Amino acid sequence: MTAAIEVTGATVRYGDVLALDDVGLTVAPGRVCGLLGTNGSGKSTLFKTILGLVPAESGRVRILGHTGTAARRRGLLGYVPQAEQVDWAFPVRVRDVVMMGRYGHVGPRRRSRPADTRAVEHALARTHLTDLADRQIGALSGGQRKRAFVARAIAQEADVLLLDEPFAGVDKRSEATITELLLQLRDGGRTLLVSTHDLAQVPALCDEAVLLQRHVIARGSPEEVLRPETLMAAFGVRAQEEGSPWTP
């Protein structure tokens, strides 16, 4: 079967900083893969590599069998950015953001047709944002903001979703809501790659997990990857000293 996400031998450097070192990753369709790693471990860089935003020194990306460019042109890739990447004071409404998910489907003026409006309404309803749709995007809670961008990916009808730190800055109840929403999307046949440096939601959400620290340190079921021995082997005493979220 064709993998939904397939990365082989990706090496990425920012000047002198080696951000990814020979990273390989395969996610089968309809699965949720957790991308785990501390801050600076290269999670966002891997997303950018999959999106074709950073030139990889070497390596190959395939999305459902397509090259990156072909996959983007088909709108297969939905991206939910890390909170720090978004200008929350930008004068757009939640509805406008979700409509941007349709821009790959419409003509060069990006004028919405009734079908696009319906897709947006549907995405808003699925993410329970219908009542908040006319708010400015920054006038939402942390969890609602994440859901707005998930709604954009739903409106886009993306088959593969990349979510960068969807649980950062989100309270416990919203975490559960988001997890439930993402599992519904998976059950609908979508593939999700979810990065996080906070492990609380991993067992409930992920079918498999990858531990990243510039290169892949461990992969397997969440139970395997989250075993204290694995984490300790990966990060050793240093992780404990620095009080990282990895310490069991």
Partner 1 sequence: MDTLITGVVDWFTVPLQFEFVQRALLVAVVAGVVCAVLSCWMTLVGWSLMGDAVSHAVLPGVVLSFLFGLPFAVGALVFGAGSVALIGVVNRTSRVKEDAVIGVVFTTMFALGLVLVSRVPSQTDLGHILFGNVLGVSDADIWQVLVLAAVVLAVVWFKHRDLTLYAFDPVHAHAVGINPRLLETLLLGLLSVTVVVALQAVGIILVVAMVIIPGATAYLLTDRFERMLAIAAAVAALAAVTGVYASFHLNVSTGGSIVLAQASAFTLAYLFSPRQGVLRRRRIRRPRPRAATAS
Ligand X SMILES: Nc1ncnc2c1ncn2[C@@H]1O[C@H](COP(=O)(O)OP(=O)(O)O)[C@@H](O)[C@H]1O
Residues that bind Mg ion (CB under 5 A): 44
Is residue 77 a contact residue for partner 1 (CB under 8 A)? yes
User: What is the number of residues in the chain?
Assistant: 248
CB of 182 to partner 1, least distance (A): 18
Q: Which is nearer to partner 1, 72 or 215 (CB)?
A: 72
Rg of the chain taking only CA atoms, in angstroms: 18
Over the window 138 to 167, marking each residue x when it contacts partner 1 by CB under 8 A and - when it does not, the resulting string is: -x------------x---x-----------
CB of 77 to partner 1, least distance (A): 5
Cα–Cα distance measured from residue 172 to residue 179, given in angstroms and rounded to the nearest whole number: 11
Is residue 66 a contact residue for partner 1 (CB under 8 A)? no
Is residue 55 a contact residue for partner 1 (CB under 8 A)? no
Cα–Cα distance measured from residue 130 to residue 114, given in angstroms and rounded to the nearest whole number: 17
Q: Which residue in 53, 76, 38 sits closest to 211, CA to CA?
A: 38
Answer for which of 44, 156, 179, 201 binds ligand X (CB under 6 A) is 44
Size of the site for partner 1 (CB under 8 A): 32
Picked from ligand X, Mg ion, partner 1, none, the partner binding residue 126 (CB below 5 to 8 A depending on kind) is none
Identify the residue whose tokens are 């897709």: 119
DSSP secondary structure of 192-235: EEEEES--TTHHHH-SEEEEEESEEEEEE-HHHHH-HHHHHHHH
Cα–Cα distance measured from residue 2 to residue 30, given in angstroms and rounded to the nearest whole number: 12
Answer for which of 31, 43, 147, 190 binds ligand X (CB under 6 A) is 43
Answer for which of 136, 177, 213, 244 binds partner 1 (CB under 8 A) is 136
Cα–Cα distance measured from residue 224 to residue 140, given in angstroms and rounded to the nearest whole number: 36
Dihedral over alpha carbons 48, 53, 58, 64 (to 10 degrees): 70
234, 217 contact by CB (below 8 A): yes
CB of 35 to ligand X, least distance (A): 8
Stretch that binds partner 1, among 21-29, 102-110, 192-200, 215-223 (CB under 8 A): 102-110
The footprint of partner 1 (CB under 8 A) covers 51-53, 72-75, 77-79, 81, 85-87, 90-93, 96-97, 100-101, 103-104, 108-111, 136, 139, 152, 156
The footprint of ligand X (CB under 6 A) covers 14, 17, 19, 37, 39-45
